[in-house]
Structure 1
């Protein structure tokens, strides 16, 4: 379970760094640039925090929230017309939520014990 969580944390860091650096090669406006930078840094920091303290479950929940915010940011910050920036936010947002949900303690415990939603008798 620990190596799987470590991999998820590393993926989160990579996703966050990618989003934060993406304004370098994407066409953005100020809202898109700062949304990608700030949310990307927060995702990467959540991954690093969970690497440093694997027992800190709040990092997984925070990562999930940051992923949702990243996903909705093109509409909220009105940069959905900038296709590259919008698609980056949508894809990184969805992947971040998937990583966060799969790393949450309940999901990780189920994967570790082979429980697939079947109640114990």
Structure 2
């Protein structure tokens, strides 16, 4: 539970999910932000509990992309605060997932013993 990327995902998700409390939204914006924000936060929590599951990091990246495109897809790009929250939250989620991926892969590789060219000799 020490990886900053997981905590960042939880915070980003919580901020996005709660942001309809302080930014103007329509129904599509509100529900898109709540659902995607909660899913990003859950992905961060899931990654804390199972850091070896690289699929969670990939899912987090996909959620970030969905959050980024949501203002255009669901029609709230004209709601400045909501749209910018989605764009920034989505971009930060994707960046967080990208930074977490190599670390997650290294952790996974570290659990395997033997193999490779160096062990043959």
Please tell me the TM-score bracket, short chain as reference.
Answer: 0.7 to 0.9
Larger radius of gyration: 2
How far apart, in 1, do the equivalents of 2:102 and 2:83 lie? 31
How far apart, in 1, do the equivalents of 2:50 and 2:104 lie? 18
How far apart, in 1, do the equivalents of 2:77 and 2:64 lie? 16
2:78 is aligned to 81
RMSD: 1.5
- For residues 40-66 of structure 1, give each alpha carbon's deviation from its aligned partner in whole angstroms, at most 9, with x where no partner exists: 000000000000011111110000000
> Which of 44, 53, 56 pairs up with 1:56?
53
1:102 is aligned to 99
- For residues 4-56 of structure 1, give each alpha carbon's deviation from its aligned partner in whole angstroms, at most 9, with x where no partner exists: xx110000000000000000001000000000000000000000000001111
Whether the 8 Å CA contact 2:54–2:105 is kept in 1: the answer is no
Unaligned runs of 5+ in 1: 110-121
Where do 4+ consecutive residues of structure 1 move more than 4 Å? none
Task: Give yes or no for the alignment of 1:69 onto 2:66.
Answer: yes
How far apart, in 2, do the equivalents of 1:52 and 1:107 lie? 13
Q: What SS is found at the alignment partner of 2:76?
A: coil
- With structure 2 as the length reference, what TM-score do the two structures score? 0.83
1:105 CA drift (Å): 3.7
How far apart, in 2, do the equivalents of 1:21 and 1:108 lie? 32
Q: What SS is found at the alignment partner of 2:53?
A: coil
Paired residue total: 106
